[in-house]
Amino acid sequence: MCIRDRNKSLETPLQLSIVIPCYNEEEVLSETVTQMSKLVDEMIEENLVAKNSSIWFIDDGSKDKTWQMIDEYSQTNTKIKGIKLSRNKGHQNALLAGLETADGDLLVSIDADLQDDITVIREMVKQYYKGNDVVYGVRKVRTTDTVFKRTTAQGFYTLIQKLGVDVVYNHADFRLMSRRAIEALKQHKEVNLFLRGMVPLIGFSSTNVEYARTERFAGESKYPLKKMLALAVDGITSFSAYPLRLIAGLGFSIFLFSIFISLWVFYTLVFTDNAVPGWASSVLPMYLLGGIQLLSIGVVGEYVGKIYMESKNRPRYVIEQIVKHSSESLK
């Protein structure tokens, strides 16, 4: 695909595609279409983006009327395009499907719930024209989150950075990427996706744009605690071998401790009369070592499972249908 010169884009605006993964979003979809369409129209009038800029909705196997609504909007709104996955594959896979399928010189990914400030997209495009291939949307405050969610989220970012994973603090999946950044991202073939860690790996110049996150417009969060924990595990195990090194260090420490205990027992038996038979010195180490061994096996098993999934080389998603306005020919 041809990658255009950004210097010439100041005279000829680039085509923008906004990629929005959806899962059971019928309650908020109408408002999302309205606000996004208005924003794109304004940016076209401001000569920031080309007239053929579009909004892509990716249906991740929704069980409600989300896809039906996307299909209907695509026939009445020339900017709306839709991708239907054959089944639910998860937020990260749905987002990747949109990024890899959508056309355009600039691609912005954002959630459908309107919690991210969509007006920031205008500033993201301006930052691209200043020379940045990747522009991260970063939350400057998290006042709309619960105390538990805010604490755990910030703790996760701190932990994963200390583990050596290159992620942007307080950044989710709200970002702008240039066409050449997208082409570089396509070269990564991981099945276990953690885009927040993959995008920084591609390099290129980048910058941050801060914004205040608002309340969800309608519907409920699609990221309950269980999914958040699964994403955290994927992020850590896909980009850091530190847990394995931690196990090795723990094993070595226990080995040294065992030598110390053995010397103490030998000294007590040979040089003193205080050797009192008891179960504590036998039972406690047994449970301690048993628990550590099971935990270690579980961590190693997590890595082995990921290697197994990667070796299968299965497709990360399957597209069932793509819809566009009737005035456009389907590819």
Q: Is residue 129 situated within a structural domain?
A: yes
Under the banding of pLDDT at 50, 70 and 90, the label for residue 143 is low
78 or 283: which leads in pLDDT: 78
Residues 154, 264 within the same domain: no
* Each residue's pLDDT tens digit, 29-87: 999 999 999 999 999 999 999 999 999 999 998 998 999 999 999 999 999 999 999 99
Is the pTM above the cut of 0.75? no
Residues 99, 67 within the same domain: yes
Residues 249, 229 within the same domain: no
Domain count, the chain: 2
Across 245-268, b (16+ Cβ under 10 Å) vs e yields eebeeeeeeeeeeeeeeeeeeeee
Q: Which domain holds residue 299?
A: 242-312
Q: Is residue 136 situated within a structural domain?
A: yes
Predicted confidence (pLDDT) at residue 152 exceeds the cutoff of 60: yes
Residues 191, 259 within the same domain: no
* Each residue's pLDDT tens digit, 207-258: 999 988 776 655 555 555 666 667 667 667 666 666 777 776 777 776 667 6
| Tokens read off for 21 | 């993964």
Under the banding of pLDDT at 50, 70 and 90, the label for residue 5 is low
Q: Is residue 197 situated within a structural domain?
A: yes
Q: Is residue 331 situated within a structural domain?
A: no
Predicted confidence (pLDDT) at residue 266 exceeds the cutoff of 80: no
* Each residue's pLDDT tens digit, 158-183: 777 777 777 788 888 899 999 999 99
* Each residue's pLDDT tens digit, 67-78: 999 999 999 999
Residues 134, 273 within the same domain: no
Residues 230, 271 within the same domain: no
